[in-house]
Amino acid sequence: MTDVAALVAALGGMAQKQQLVARGATDRDLTNAVKCGAALRARNGWYSTLADTSAAFRAVRVGGRLTGMSALVELGAWAYGNFPLHVSVPRNAARQRSPWSRRIASTRLSRQGVVLHWDDDDVVSRGTPTSVAVEDALLQAIIDEPLEVVVAALDWAFKSNTIDRIDFEQLMLRVPAWAR
């Protein structure tokens, strides 16, 4: 019997079924892990050891990954106030779910405090299973948030050595002209 919770934890707390099967987990192992509470099913084909109230878990449940201030706060960025859950989904994404239940299809995510960002393949290919790359999250924050929030996020990114001057200059080249 495979320790599904250990496999999922080793994969960062969130894993697709195919990743777990490739590491030796069977359907029975996955079912048993969910039944005994060792792992949670975020959505069909996704297993997690994260708390079901965490932003990362809720983003995957919706059908995407954290982006913008949601991703930055999860990484430890300085932020004041509450932000909606910003979720990056591929341009061709379908079947978004409620962040609170994998069984409830959701067409009105904005009412549930979710902001969807439909991203291109280059954004989809970077990052982790639960979050876009930090540069993409910063870009989304620059576009979405007030100046004070953006300054704090960029200051955190520099002070924590998450980005350097070259990364910053490359990031600024990606900012749309209207947001500069």
**Whether 148 and 65 share a structural domain:** yes
Query: With contact defined as beta carbons under 8 Å apart, do 40 and 104 qualify?
Result: no
Same domain (yes/no): 27, 64: no
- What size, in residues, is the chain? 180
Question: Is the model more confident about 14 or about 106?
Answer: 14
61 with 104, same domain? yes
Residues 99 and 75 reside in one and the same domain: yes
Cα 8–chain centre separation: 16
Predicted confidence at residue 2, as pLDDT, reads 81
* Residues 33 and 122 both lie in one domain: no
In this structure, the answer to whether residues 27 and 113 fall within a common structural domain is no
Q: What is the pLDDT of residues 93-106, one digit of tens each?
A: 666 666 655 555 56
Q: Are residues 11 and 30 in the same domain?
A: yes
Q: What is the pLDDT of residues 50-67, one digit of tens each?
A: 998 999 999 998 888 999
Residues 160 and 106 in one domain: yes
- Give the span between the Cα atoms of 28 and 41, in whole angstroms: 14
Q: What is the domain extent for residue 39?
A: 4-48
Same domain, yes or no: 38 and 68: no
Which pLDDT score is estimated for 97? 60
Domain boundary (29, 48, 67) is at 48
Answer yes or no: do 80 and 168 share one domain.
yes
Question: Who contacts 91 (Cβ-Cβ below 8 Å, separation ≥6)?
Answer: 118, 119, 120, 121
Q: Looking at residue 95, what is its pLDDT?
A: 66
Q: What is the 3-state secondary structure (H, E, C) of the chain?
A: CCCHHHHHHHCCCEEEHHHHHHCCCCHHHHHHHHHCCCCEEEECCEEECCCCCCHHHHHHHHCCEECHHHHHHHHCCCCCCCCCEEEEEECCCCCCEECCEEEEECCCHHHHCEEEEEECHHHHCCCCCCECCHHHHHHHHHHHCCHHHHHHHHHHHHHCCCCCHHHHHHHHHHCCHHHC
What is the spatial distance between Cα 172 and Cα 11, in angstroms, rounded to a whole number?
A: 32
Looking at the fold, whether 63 and 114 belong to one and the same domain comes out as: yes
Number of domains making up the chain:
2
pLDDT range class, residue 167, cuts 50, 70, 90: very high
